[in-house]
Amino acid sequence: MSQVLLNVVILAAGKGTRMHSELPKVLHPLAGRPLLAHVLETAWNLAPAKTCVVYGYGGNAVPQAFADNRVQWVEQKEQKGTGHALMQAAPHLADAPVTLVLLGDVPLIAAETCRRVVQQAAHGQVVVLTIDKDNPAGYGRILREFGGEVCGIVEEKDATPEQRSIREINTGIMALPTARLGTWLQRLRPNNAQGEYYLTDVIAMAVADGVRVVTVHAGHQHEALGINSKTDLAQAERIWQRQSADALLAQGVTLADPARLDVRGSLKSGRDVSIDINCVFEGEVELGAGVQVGAHCVIRNSRIGAGVRIQPYSHIDGAEVGDGAIIGPYARLRPGTQLAGQVHIGNFVEIKNSAVGTESKINHLSYVGDSTVGSKVNIGAGTITCNYDGVNKHRTVIGDNAFIGSDTQLVAPVTVGDGATIGAGSTITRDAPAGELTLSRGRQTTISGWKRPQKKEK
């Protein structure tokens, strides 16, 4: 299919009264991103010469939500209908033969469906995307002559009872010849029940000017689902999530229940990945081969290495987890966490902005923040790094093979040397030397020459 040079205009100025929210309708989230973001992604897949977004309600809140210099933002200060919105964008259009009109509150439209519309429009025709609905209430109806040719579109409030019985409805998505668009827009008049400038009136003008109007049916009815209420939004969310689940299943991912999965961004998975129920993936997440994710986990903007086991109720945000690690249950990895291979992070352990070396274990009820932890370190239950002095953050360094006894406080900045042992219940405020036992019982003491107990042979 050859590429057609085109403009894309996205109409996104409406308030969305039935959303019962001060947030502009197109900023309401679907799968973790604003409705408009989904439509823009579809537009980018078409590689347009120019993309205009017409915004209105909420002022600059809509353009400020998107830092994208590919968009020409055009304000519709008064919302006087779809035709009036397109009038605002017309002066900014590129010299491309086709202008495709998309809607900022119709987020499930597929790029492939848009390509079919654009390909038909490349022949100089006006193309309207339609669907058949058993209950077409609220939508504009497609009017056809006895021979089947499209002769117009009538909005429901202006339709006769006979016209309201028509099941083929206008989705609002259409492609028009750019060269004729300006003339047609100038001829629009607000002579209707709403007192608005209807873009759909252009259809009758095209027919009168001898320009053929054709229709393309959407591949799936949900592609034309407009978001006008929280009920519509919830319906779209379930459709989007089921599509995401089906895509993962097709790639070989095992889902305990496809209906209980939420992907709010992108999820890349290796072979033999399994995901239990009620897991949420946000932002950019990558799961390596053989990863097992337990129930009720939340993973955001993280990379999980091969063979990792994430136990139930764990939260991972902005972290990198090395191969073969075991996380949780009830663990929390915060941004800046880097775990090497074979690390164990246990229940009610929180790691923040820290690197933990190979085969180290932090298994119970501990907080490790702003730290560098070496390899084969064992950190006992209830240990915390005291990284904040009330004004500044400080770093803790723990060397390879160190053993930190339970209920220890490491007051940063502090370094624990390689092979050092910290006695349980100690508050460490000065560097602990390598290979020695350091503890505090009233005051910090180092016992020179002490040897750590060795595991007895059975």
Q: What are phi and psi of 370, to 5 degrees?
A: 50, 55
Beta bridge partners of 141: 154, 169
CATH dotted code for 6-224: 3.90.550.10
Q: What is the pLDDT of residues 254-296, one digit of tens each?
A: 999 999 999 999 999 999 999 999 999 999 999 999 999 999 9
| Domain spanning 230-447: CATH 2.160.10.10 | yes
Question: pTM (2 decimals)?
Answer: 0.89
Q: What is the pLDDT of residues 107-124, one digit of tens each?
A: 999 999 999 999 999 989
314: left (phi over 0), alpha (psi -120 to 50) or beta: beta
pLDDT-based confidence at 59, cuts 50/70/90?
confident
Q: Where do the domains of the chain lie?
A: 6-224, 230-447
Whole-angstrom Cα distance, residue 437 to residue 444? 11
Q: Specify the pLDDT at position 2.
A: 61
Q: Is the peptide bond before 329 cis (omega within 30 degrees of 0)?
A: yes
Whole-angstrom Cα distance, residue 178 to residue 214? 16
Q: What is the pLDDT of residues 356-368, one digit of tens each?
A: 999 999 999 999 9
Write the CB contacts of 378 (distance below 8 Å, at least 6 apart in sequence): 360, 361, 402, 403, 404
Q: What is the arithmetic mean of pLDDT over 139-168?
A: 91
Q: What is the pLDDT of residues 379-417, one digit of tens each?
A: 999 999 999 888 899 999 999 999 999 999 999 999 999
Give the catalytic positions in this structure: 364
* Of residues 168, 171, 57, the one with CA closest to residue 103: 171
Q: What is the arithmetic mean of pLDDT over 5-25?
A: 94
How much of the chain exceeds pLDDT 70, in percent?
A: 99
